Amino acid sequence: MEGRKVTGWAARDSSGILSPYSFHIRKTGPEDVVFKVLYCGVDHSDLHQIKNEIHITTYPLVPGHEVVGKVMEVGSEVTKFVVGDIVGVGCMVGSCGECLCCKTNREQYCNNMVFTYNAIYKDGSFTQGGFSSAMVVHQNYVVSIPEKLAPEQAAPLLCAGVTAYSPMKQFIGCKTAIKAGILGLGGVGHLGVLIAKAMGHHVTVISSSDKKREEALTDLGADCYLVSSNSDEMKKLTNSLDYILDTVPVNHRLQDYLPLLRVEGKIFVVGAAPEPLQFSASGGSFIGSIQETQEILDFWVEKRLKTMIEVVKMDYVNKAFERMEKNDVRYRFVLDVAGSNLE
């Protein structure tokens, strides 16, 4: 059943150009939370999807899955939130609730997980993301944004942050010194550096160019910076890393990086290259659970970390994607949705 009318920005075809689009969100169910979107991060997965690069895209498509909003209405059985709360939604808005994954806080791996956009919801409606004036989401897939965290700071944590945090979390409490490699310094990568440093790891950034060296070492606090085409430097790193967080969004040769791992080292492939990687046994790490999403928000406050973002208005969104495609973003665009007067 149709609920309120909202205004989003949608891609219409694989050119990926976004423009205003009006649609109805579903009528508020008993466990639904309706919120006005305040901010929404711009993830490379949005770019993959508006261009029909990874999943089959159904148009018009309103992207956005790093959504922070203010609750406007709650269903009669909502217990987690009240009107006025600042809340967040990441990559998923539903799952079966009954399988082993769902029952063990790993609902992101549920076979019936529902993506925030470009997916069919349980009631048969088509999901649309956070580049929109408002959203309705079941309370189980909504997290609360800590009071001490600015909403625009929180946005990138809801996908990029938890994607890095989820596999790296296993090193919390490790007694030995952990050596980390962050491959690709973009939205996910920059948060990976901050998280790794906050966990006390020794961090080497492996980048495709020399352009981000200064800021990686000074602003983000990385310990080393390496350009991947420098094979002499790469050789020196052989057998040294406990893990690599691989965020590269295009096809790349994994075999160039695997030798950097020490025995029993791990590679977390989170980058969603459109073509298959030249490596058969890669089980990629995939975002993080709802609980971990909540955890990273609290972690951010506790460690006093600062997301590095560029806040822009909705009419800048196409330029934002253009710049993301050119690797020209430091390090996450966050749309000021409420400040863009969509309605």
Residues near ligand NAP (CB under 6 A) are 43-45, 48, 159-160, 163, 184-189, 207-209, 212, 247-250, 252, 270-272, 284-287, 324, 327, 329
Q: Which is nearer to Zn ion, 204 or 307 (CB)?
A: 307
Give the burial class of 80: count Cβ atoms within 10 A of its Cβ; 0-12 exposed, 13-18 middle, 19 or more buried.
middle
Q: Which is nearer to ligand NAP, 136 or 159 (CB)?
A: 159
- Interface with Zn ion, residue 96, by CB under 5 A: yes
- Interface with Zn ion, residue 152, by CB under 5 A: no
- Interface with Zn ion, residue 67, by CB under 5 A: no
The size of the chain, in residues, is 343
Closest distance to ligand NAP from the beta carbon of 77 (Å): 30
Residue nearest to ligand NAP (CB): 186
If contact means CB under 5 to 8 A according to the sort of partner, which of Zn ion, ligand NAP, none does residue 286 touch?
ligand NAP
Q: Which is nearer to Zn ion, 45 or 228 (CB)?
A: 45
* CA–CA distance, 139 with 239 (Å, rounded to integer): 45
Q: Which is nearer to Zn ion, 95 or 128 (CB)?
A: 95
Choices 89-97, 130-138, 176-184, 330-338 (CB under 5 A): range interacting with Zn ion: 89-97
If contact means CB under 5 to 8 A according to the sort of partner, which of ligand NAP, Zn ion, none does residue 96 touch?
Zn ion
- Interface with Zn ion, residue 166, by CB under 5 A: no
Closest CA to 130 of 336, 271, 343: 336
* CA–CA distance, 223 with 181 (Å, rounded to integer): 10
Tokens of residue 162, six digits: 């938890």
- Interface with Zn ion, residue 301, by CB under 5 A: no
If contact means CB under 5 to 8 A according to the sort of partner, which of ligand NAP, Zn ion, none does residue 106 touch?
none
* CA–CA distance, 214 with 221 (Å, rounded to integer): 10
Judging by DSSP bridges, how do beta strands 2-11 and 92-94 pair with one another?
unpaired
If contact means CB under 5 to 8 A according to the sort of partner, which of ligand NAP, Zn ion, none does residue 102 touch?
Zn ion
In this chain, which of 8, 38, 39, 45 binds Zn ion, going by CB under 5 A? Answer: 45
Whether the Cβ atoms of residue 69 and residue 38 lie closer than 8 Å to each other? yes
Whether the Cβ atoms of residue 70 and residue 84 lie closer than 8 Å to each other? yes
Going along 247-285, which residue ranges are E strands?
261-269
If contact means CB under 5 to 8 A according to the sort of partner, which of ligand NAP, Zn ion, none does residue 186 touch?
ligand NAP
Please enumerate in sequence order all residues whose Cβ is within 8 A of that of 151, keeping only pairs 6 or more positions apart, or say none.
38, 39, 68, 86, 145
As a whole number of Å, the end-to-end CA separation of the chain is 22
Choices 35-43, 198-206, 241-249, 311-319 (CB under 5 A): range interacting with Zn ion: 35-43
Give the burial class of 218: count Cβ atoms within 10 A of its Cβ; 0-12 exposed, 13-18 middle, 19 or more buried.
exposed
The single-letter DSSP state of residue 98 is S
Using CB under 5 A, list all residues that contact Zn ion.
43, 45, 95-96, 99, 102, 110, 159
